[in-house]
Amino acid sequence: MLIVQKYGGTSVANVERIKAVAQRVADTAKQGHSVAVVVSAMSGETDKMIALANQVSSNPSEREMDLLLSSGERVTSALTAMAIEALGHKAMALTGRQMGIITDTVHTKAKIEKIHADRAQKALEDGFVLVVAGFQGITGDDNVTTLGRGGSDLSAVAIAAALKADLCEIYTDVDGVYTTDPNIVPEARKLDKISYEEMLELASLGAKVLQTRSVEFAMKYNVPVVVKSSFNNNPGTLVTTEEKEMEEVVVSGVAYDKNQAKITVMGLPDRPGLAAGLFKAIADASIIVDMIVQNISSDGNSADISFTVPKTDSKKAFQLAESITKELGAERVATREDIAKISIVGVGMRTHSGVAAQMFEAMSKHGINIMMISTSEIKVSCIIDAKFTELAVRVLHDTFGLAQGAKP
Ligand code: ADP
Ligand code: ASP
Ligand code: MG
């Protein structure tokens, strides 16, 4: 078999752990498998480098930021390859560029366009274990890019697709995908299997166990993904195509996201084209807007529009919203960063009614106010005050019977 194994930041956090990873990789190779490893930077390193960049400049250039951040994964790929070699196996460390990962030019959140895998393929045939630096690629005109936070997951899935691997294993600090973050709710239950679609919703709603784009990619190219712990040998969670019995469970998971900010434009004249103008400018700045709510005033002459964006983009979005809507006659623009998005996810919602009402009732019973709501076929999300995040996650986990031993 050809197996891609990805090790996250905590799994390569220090020399002992890198040696343990090397042992796991060597054991897999010894069983006769070809192995391509993808590593993250040591945990905390990427954040440290971002802090350094912000110390030397209030507005660091994104191109230079990418060059800086890509270095964390280079360090671990080289060290891991050396540790594997020390165990007597041929290993070759590769940067994103050497792996042939070509991306678009959107620095700090580039998309993979193609992978020229010939060199990697040849090295695998020659018996090397590959150790690829995750989270990075190269543009057509030779600039280093990074793939967005948590992007090593995407590197792994994309490499698995390009090499036509039999399996993509994501090794992390929890032993699978749970009904909610097990670090917040200790009673959370590990799922044996989850559909790509549910995993995609959970990830995009904040469950950082897998990066959203990696799940999208896995679904598109049908890459079988298993999430496992690098600290034990427990069976993990298989992310796979939807099966009939998955629909019987109404809510499969609860997710939260504290990385969003809410921007509200007040007193916008109610005319066609204003929302278009505002959101076009935001989109042109490559800022992803999540929820949007518009209210028309009771006299019908003006509107308030609230929308959410990633916290990292909130300053930029605020400035854009202010400059554009002031011109259009808006009264005021305000930002709130102390918010959280709480979501429930389940393919069973397609066939069951009353799920949203049950969610709102549970939150109201605990005095949690809802600021914004959005729904899709298989999820309901609410924006609430960030201070209620953990409470809301626990309440919803209980309400929908997700705990170990509970009957769903
Ligand atoms: P890595 O550094 O290995 O990429 P991450 O920190 O990105 O690891 O992701 C693993 C973390 O995801 C866990 O420690 C856990 O706190 C969090 N998490 C959030 N939601 C879930 C969930 N539903 N199931 C498992 N882990 C989750
Ligand atoms: N090191 C990067 C991050 O912290 C990428 C990753 O870990 O997947 O976001
Ligand atoms: Mg991660």
pLDDT for 335: 97
Residues 122 and 34: their CA atoms lie apart, in Å, by 12
Examine the pLDDT at 203 and tell me if it is beyond 80: yes
Q: How far is the CA of 160 from the centre of ligand 1 (A)?
A: 21
Out of 208, 210, 231, 379, give the residue to mutate to test ligand 1, the one with the largest number of ligand atoms within 8 Å of its CB: 208
Q: In angstroms, what is the span from residue 290 Cα to ligand 1's centroid?
A: 22
Nearest to 97 by CA among 64, 144, 62: 144
- Tell me which residue has its CA closest to atom 21 in ligand 1: 181
Residue 173 alpha carbon to ligand 3 centre in Å: 9
- CATH 3.30.2130.10 positions along the chain are 244-408
Check whether 297 has a pLDDT greater than 90.
no
Considering only CA atoms, which residue is closest to atom 17 of ligand 1? Answer: 209
- Report the interhelical angle of 212-221 vs 196-204 (nearest 10°): 160
Which residue's alpha carbon is at the smallest distance from atom 11 of ligand 1?
209
Distance CA 351, CA 88 (A): 55
- Of the listed ranges 35-44, 152-161, 245-254, 335-344, the least confidently predicted one is 245-254
N-terminal to C-terminal alpha carbon distance within the chain? 37
The whole-model pTM stands at 0.91
Calpha distance 274→267 (Å, rounded):
12
Q: Could you say which ligand is closest to the alpha carbon of residue 397? A: 1
Rounded Cα–Cα distance for residues 5 and 27 (Å): 12
Residue 374 — pLDDT band, cuts 50, 70, 90? Answer: very high
Atom of ligand 1 nearest to the CA of 179: 23
Ligand 2 touching residue 72 (CB < 6 A): yes
Confidence category of residue 270, pLDDT binned at 50, 70, 90: confident
**Nearest CA, atom 9, ligand 1:** 209
- pLDDT digits 0-9 by tens, 29-38: 999 999 999 9
Compute the distance from residue 311 Cα to the ligand 3 centre, in Å.
Answer: 18
Q: Using CA atoms, how far apart are residues 40 and 220, in angstroms rounded to an integer?
A: 23
Q: How far apart are CA 398 and CA 254, in angstroms?
A: 10
Answer yes or no: is pLDDT of 300 > 90.
no
Q: Which atom of ligand 2 is nearest to the CA of 155?
A: 8
Residue 406 pLDDT greater than 80, yes or no = no
Q: Name the residue at shortest CA distance from atom 12 of ligand 1.
A: 209
Cβ neighbours for 64, distance < 8 A, ≥ 6 positions apart = 53
Over 80: is that where the pLDDT of 305 sits?
yes
Tell whether the model's pLDDT for residue 350 goes beyond 90: no
Structure tokens at 224: 């079988």
Start-end of CATH 3.40.1160.10 domains in the chain: 2-173
Q: Work out which ligand 2 atom sits closest to the CA atom of 211.
A: 8
Residue located via tokens 């919803």: 396
Pairing of strands 225-229, 167-172: parallel
H/E element holding 268?
strand 260-269
More confident residue, 327 or 236: 236
- Contact residues of ligand 1, CB 6 A cut-off: 8-11, 40, 150, 172-174, 177-178, 180-183, 207-209, 253
Q: Could you give phi then psi for residue 82, rounded to 5 degrees?
A: -60, -40
Q: How many CA atoms lie within 13 A of 340 on its CB side?
A: 20
What's the pLDDT tens digit per position in 2-31?
999 999 999 999 999 999 999 999 999 999
Output the pLDDT for position 301: 84
| pLDDT for position 314 | 95
At the topology level, CATH places domain 244-408 in VC0802-like (3.30.2130)
Domain 2-173 listed as CATH 3.40.1160.10: yes
Residues 40-88 pLDDT 10s: 999 999 999 999 999 999 999 999 999 999 999 999 999 999 999 999 9
The verdict on the CB of residue 133 being under 6 Å from ligand 2 is no
Task: Enter the tokens of residue 152.
Answer: 């090593």
pLDDT of residue 138 exceeding 60, the answer is: yes
Task: List, for residues 308-345, the tens digit of each pLDDT value.
Answer: 999 989 999 999 999 988 888 889 999 999 999 999 99
CA of 154 relative to ligand 1 center, distance in Å: 15
